[in-house]
Amino acid sequence: MPKFKNTVVALVIAALPALSACGSEPTPPTPPTPPTPPTVTDAHGHVAPHGGVLVELGDHFGFLEIVLDAEAGTLTAYVLDGGAEQAVRIAQPTMSLVFETPAAVAGQTLALAGKANVLTGETVGDTSQFELTHEAFKGQTALTARVVELTVKGRTFHGIAVKL
């Protein structure tokens, strides 16, 4: 029986540090990692770098990324390379779209103006970004249109469907 008592005493002594920890302050939980914003990808897994919708130009020749800011009523188009990663400057000063929706601009051809960017050195007529602000876009969550004509790296595209 003494051997059993010694074993019990040894177990109690070994458990004391763990038992004394029960009365101490608990360690605060690690704060949860904030969720990462969703990434918008196309059918091939390309990520839209500005959070918009990608429209493919040819077979991975390039992309248009279309971003609608419904609060500001601004529609922005970015011309991107075939991996949707790098900006591609084009010579057009504007990019015209024929709108199907929203109803307020249905049937109208509106031009997105080329945007200059001091940081990248882009200028109107040598830019990858085009923008249009219109009251009809405020509060919209979707729109459909067609790009009239777009020339990228010497290749011209007509009637490119845009659907958000």
Q: How far apart are CA 111 and CA 130, in angstroms?
A: 9
Report field, pTM of the whole predicted structure over 0.85: no
Q: How many domains does the chain have?
A: 1
In-domain check, residue 45: no
For 104-151, the DSSP string reads GGTT-EEEEEE--BTTTTBBTTBBSEEEEE-GGGTT-S--EEEEEEEE
Q: Output the six-digit token pair for 149.
A: 């004509």
In-domain check, residue 135: yes
Q: What pLDDT does 36 receive?
A: 38
* pLDDT tens-digit series, residues 54-105: 999 998 899 999 999 999 999 999 999 999 999 999 999 999 999 999 999 9
In-domain check, residue 34: no
Q: What pLDDT does 90 receive?
A: 97
Question: What are the strands of the beta sheet with 109-114, ordered from one edge?
Answer: 53-57, 62-69, 74-81, 129-133, 109-114, 94-101, 144-152, 155-163
39 pLDDT above the threshold of 50: no
What separation in angstroms does the CA of 41 have from each of 35, 60, 126?
A: 18, 14, 27
In-domain check, residue 5: no
33 pLDDT above the threshold of 80: no
In-domain check, residue 18: no
User: How much is the mean pLDDT over the chain?
Assistant: 83
For 16-32, the DSSP string reads HHHHHHHTSPPPPPPPP
* pLDDT tens-digit series, residues 131-163: 999 999 999 999 999 999 999 999 999 999 999
Instruction: Identify the CATH number of the domain in which residue 82 sits.
Output: 2.60.40
